[in-house]
Amino acid sequence: MSTGIYTLANDVVYNQLVALLNSIEVNAGKETPVCVIAYNDQLDKVRQEIATRDNVTLLDNPELFARWEEFSYRVWKTHPDALQEWQAQGMKTKFYRVGENHRYCAFDPQSPFEKFIYLDADTLLMNSLDFVFKQLDESDFVVYDFQYKDPAHIFNLASPKLL
């Protein structure tokens, strides 16, 4: 079974990507496979960086992205008002931050890793990930996240369903 780390990036977050890749190299090892999923087509610096690292590849597959964008769009259409609110704010794409949905390609059978960890490009690996990979031997899905700065990024804080 192929294992590795996914992240999502473009040239806008290039410096954060380099910091993440360096932290993976130090704390997980130079041989740890990493796949950078393209956020969009701004990838010149990202491609140059990947070319210097034997363990890092780029996932930039428009057909695969289109499939997951359509999936995300169908999901967002079920929300009672998200699409209308984004359109009222002047959004020019099908839905908000389309490129962020490229991360879902990690779940696609055409993607390189069967067992994986996803890390945002603006994070750093501070220790081994062995405990997470071991947990994936026992569970299909593991979440290890903490939203501190802006819970509204994840939750509707006015929702009566939120405790």
Fold of the CATH domain 3-60+99-153: Spore Coat Polysaccharide Biosynthesis Protein SpsA; Chain A (3.90.550)
Cβ neighbours of residue 17 closer than 8 Å, sequence gap 6 or more: 7, 9, 36, 46, 49, 121
Q: What residue type is assigned to position 42 of the chain?
A: Q
Alpha carbons 27 and 15: distance in angstroms, whole number: 18
97 pLDDT above the threshold of 80: no
Predicted confidence at residue 154, as pLDDT, reads 67
Q: End-to-end alpha-carbon separation of the chain, Å?
A: 39
**Mean pLDDT of all residues in 31-45:** 96
Is residue 145 within 8 Å of residue 67, measured between CB atoms? no
Confidence of residue 102 (pLDDT cuts 50, 70, 90): confident
Write the pLDDT tens digit of every residue in 48-86.
Answer: 999 999 999 999 999 988 888 888 878 777 877 766 776
Q: The tokens of 156 are what?
A: 């509707």
pTM for the model stands at 0.80
